[in-house]
Amino acid sequence: MRVVLIEDDPSMAQPLVEGLARHGFEVQWANTGTQGIEDARAADVVLLDLGLPDIDGLEVCKAIRQRSEVPILIVSARGQESDRVQGLELGADDYIVKPFSLRELAARIRANVRRRPAANETMAFGGITIDRDQHSATHDGTELGLTPKEFDLLAVLAEEPGRVVPRTELYARIWDPVWVGSGKSLDVHVTTLRKKLPPTIVIEAIRGVGYRLVEQSATSD
């Protein structure tokens, strides 16, 4: 998930970039409102500070919302009711007052993304069709017979085939942002899912990082 962070203060931005990366996010930092408006074109979610050097953050929020439906979370030390109300009225999806915990921020990001309908609820990869609306996964027209968690796991991995999806991101998106269950649950579901996939579709484990979905030739060794 690609997060654009619009924040002019390096002492605030750098810990957020590093911390959110540990939670499985890819973060791009923009230190001006002008740059942030441009970078937001390719974002999955925007984190927006209001105290920017070139454009007031509320104007940045308005400009982004006029051209995109991307989730916007305002993160600001300006906690007055008037600021919060104005930010939400201009199109922000959430308003978080500094200071805040990284854990809460990650949970709020994912919660806001979940509320947005996906642009395309059907994905296809290597002969597999994944229909999120129907919660159905088929291979060449035949149902794979996945459990709900297996389906969710396959759907997340299939969003970006070839990308290594960190374990933290998989747990947060499939189980819960504050999951405290067994660390083996993910591995067990990967094992059972692998058995239901065609031989050419492989879930590769990247030790200490996560998993990725790849397609292999039927004739490869």
Q: What is the CATH number of the domain that holds 153?
A: 1.10.10.10
* pLDDT for the residue 16: 94
Residues 157 and 192 in one domain: yes
| pLDDT score of 118 | 56
Q: Is the peptide bond before 198 cis (omega within 30 degrees of 0)?
A: no
In this prediction, residue 180 has a pLDDT band, given cuts at 50, 70 and 90, of: very low
Reading the block at residue 159, the tokens are 């969003």
Does 221 map to a domain?
Answer: no
State residue 114's pLDDT score.
73
27: domain CATH number? Answer: 3.40.50.2300
Final residue of a domain: which of 80, 115, 150? 115
Kindly provide the residue ranges of all beta strands, DSSP E only, lying in the chain, ordered along the sequence: 2-6, 26-30, 45-48, 72-76, 94-97, 122-125, 128-131, 136-139, 142-143, 165-166, 201-206, 210-215
Give 115-158 pLDDT, tens digit per residue: 665 555 688 899 999 998 788 999 998 999 998 889 989 998 99
User: Strand 94-97 vs strand 72-76: parallel, antiparallel, or unpaired?
Assistant: parallel
Identify which of 31-35, 77-81, 156-160, 187-191 has the greatest average pLDDT.
Answer: 31-35
Mean pLDDT calculated for residue range 84-100: 89
As for how many domains the chain has, the answer is 2
Separation between Cα atoms, residue 52 and residue 6, nearest integer Å = 8
99 and 165: one domain?
no
- Does residue 168 surpass a pLDDT of 90? no
Lateral strand order in the sheet of 122-125: 122-125, 128-131, 136-139, 142-143
Residue 220 lies in a domain: no
31 and 70 assigned to the same domain: yes
Task: Please tell me whether residues 79 and 131 are part of one structural domain.
Answer: no
Q: Do residues 182 and 107 share a domain? A: no
Whole-prediction pTM value?
A: 0.56
User: Are both 131 and 106 inside the same structural domain?
Assistant: no
Domain of residue 134 covers 122-215
Looking at 92, 115, 138, which one is the last position of a domain? 115
Mean pLDDT value of segment 82-95: 89
